[in-house]
Amino acid sequence: MKNGSIIEKVRYPSPSPHVSVFMVTYYSGGLKVKGLLAEPQVEGNYDGFLYLRGGIKNVGQVRVGRIVQFASEGFIVMAPFYRGNQGGEGNEDFAGDDREDAFSAFCLLEQYAKVKKNRIHVFGFSRGGVMALMAGVQFPHTCSVVSWGGVSDMFLTYEERVDLRRMMKRVIGGTPSKVPERYEWRTPLYELERLKAPLLIIHGEKDNNVSVEHSYRLENRAKELGKYVESWYFPEFTHYFPPKENRRLVERLTCWMKQRAENPE
């Protein structure tokens, strides 16, 4: 069985009468992994949208309302829970081997009959920003990559988030000074030259969960390498945007995605 193959697909309650939601079990690197799939009910072919959540385990889980929000803009959305969550096999390891679950979810969208050929976008929030960049590097034909409040540098995360250090040492296998290669492997800034897709960065400058410095470093590195990058910074917002602004930004960024697919630079 190849990565991205759907093993089971079960209807899941949807908060929208216009969007169907399914709990899917799919194949990823020898494991059965879970995720949510949302698609507009109107028949037709749509761009694919890989939604990569933040957090780890029960912190920052996929919210059905969020993926329905994106599906309502005319996308087929796949949101992996990552291995070891919601009954899936394996153990999540914070942008380590669990990146395979993002890659396999990308493959799932490629194999999905209703997704337009070569029209898959990748979106990452918080820790999902790292996963989104990795997926964009892994699949050069990605249409666009969006990092919203996204991590770009695992060394910086360890430095800034004292509350996460114990978890990071346990999951990653040590501190950045003891196992720097494991943090470097989880830091996509070192592989950004391989990114072909246009990049959009969104960040609240009052963010205390993922500092805006992550986005500054990502933007600067992308510009150094001559990549197509746009940045939308919001000095008044934290890690979480007010609902009204959130809805407005979802409309704006999905419009940006479609424009990039139609007019690649």
Q: Do β-strands 115-125 and 144-148 pair in parallel, antiparallel, or remain unpaired?
A: parallel
DSSP assignment letter at 172: I
Residue with tokens 């929208």, as numbered in its chain: 16
Q: In Å, how far are 94, 109, 172, 175, 251 from 166, measured between CA atoms? A: 13, 35, 10, 9, 38
Rounded CA-CA distance 53/59 in Å is 10
- Which of these, 164, 148, 161, lies nearest to 218 by C-alpha position? 148
Q: Could you tell me the pTM of the whole model?
A: 0.97
SS3 state of residue 139:
coil
**pLDDT value at position 265?**
61
Number of Cβ atoms within 10 Å of the Cβ of 168: 21
Beta bridge partners of 114: none
DSSP assignment letter at 54: -
> Which of 16, 20, 72, 239 is flagged as catalytic?
239
| Sheet of 46-52, strands arranged across | 6-12, 19-28, 31-40, 75-80, 46-52, 115-125, 144-148, 199-204, 229-234
Q: Show pLDDT as tens, one digit a residue, over the chain (265 residues).
A: 899 999 999 999 999 999 999 999 999 999 999 999 999 999 999 999 999 999 887 777 899 999 999 999 999 999 999 999 999 999 999 999 999 999 999 999 999 999 999 999 999 999 999 999 999 999 999 999 999 999 999 999 999 999 999 999 999 999 999 999 999 999 999 999 999 999 999 999 999 999 999 999 999 999 999 999 999 999 999 999 999 999 999 999 999 999 999 886 6
**pLDDT value at position 23?**
98
Q: Which domains does the chain have, with CATH numbers?
A: 6-262 (3.40.50.1820)
Query: Does the annotation count 239 as an active-site position?
Result: yes
**pLDDT value at position 55?**
86
> Which of 126, 144, 211, 215 is flagged as catalytic?
126
Could you tell me how far CA 244 lies from the centroid of its own chain? 22
Query: Does the annotation count 177 as an active-site position?
Result: no
